[in-house]
Chains A and B, each alone.
Chain A
Amino acid sequence: MADIIVLEKMNKFYGTYHALKDVNLTIAKGEKVVVCGPSGSGKSTMIRCINRLEEHDSGRIIVAGEELTDDEKKIDRVRREVGMVFQSFNLFPHMTVLENLTLAPRLVRKTATAEAEAIAMKYLTRVRIPDQAHKYPSQLSGGQQQRVAIARALCMNPEVMLFDEPTSALDPEMISEVLDVMTDLAQEGMTMVCVTHEMGFARSVADRIVFMDHGEIVEVAKPYDFFASPKSERARTFLGQILAH
Chain B
Amino acid sequence: MSMLDGWWDDFFFGLVTVLQVFSVSLVIAVVCGLLGASAKLSKSRVLRGIAQAYTIVFRGAPELLVLLLFYFGMAIALTQVVQLFDPSVKFIDLPPFWAGSIAIGLIVGAYMTETFRGAFLGVDRGQIEAARALSLKRHQIFRYVRFPQMWRLALPNFGNHMLSIMKDTALVSIIGLEEILFVAKMANSLIHRPFLLYMTVALIYLAITTVITLAVGWLEVRANRHLRGAR
Contact = CB atoms under 8 A, between A and B. Distances in A.
On whether A and B touch (CB less than 8 Å), the answer reads yes
Interface of A: 51, 53, 75-77, 79-80, 82-84, 86, 88, 90-96, 103-104, 107-108, 136-139, 141, 149, 152-153, 156
Interface stretch (B18-26, B71-79, B122-130): B122-130
Contacts of B140: 107-108
Contacts of B225: 136
A53 B226 CA distance: 28
Contacts of B223: 94
Given A103-B144, A139-B231, A94 B226 contact: yes
Interface stretch (B30-38, B51-59, B145-153, B181-189): B145-153
Interface of B: 124, 126-127, 129-137, 140, 144-145, 148-149, 152, 223, 225-231
5 closest residue pairs by CB, A with B? A79-B135, A90-B130, A138-B230, A104-B134, A136-B226
29 contacts: A53-B133, A75-B135, A76-B135, A79-B132, A79-B133, A79-B134, A80-B135, A82-B133, A83-B133, A84-B130, A88-B126, A90-B129, A90-B130, A92-B144, A92-B149, A93-B226, A94-B148, A94-B223, A103-B136, A103-B144, A104-B134, A108-B135, A108-B140, A136-B225, A136-B227, A138-B226, A138-B227, A139-B228, A149-B130
A63 B124 CA distance: 27
Given A92-B145, A95-B226, A103-B144, A76 B124 contact: no
B130 to A, nearest CB: 4
A93 B144 CA distance: 11
Contacts of A104: 134-136
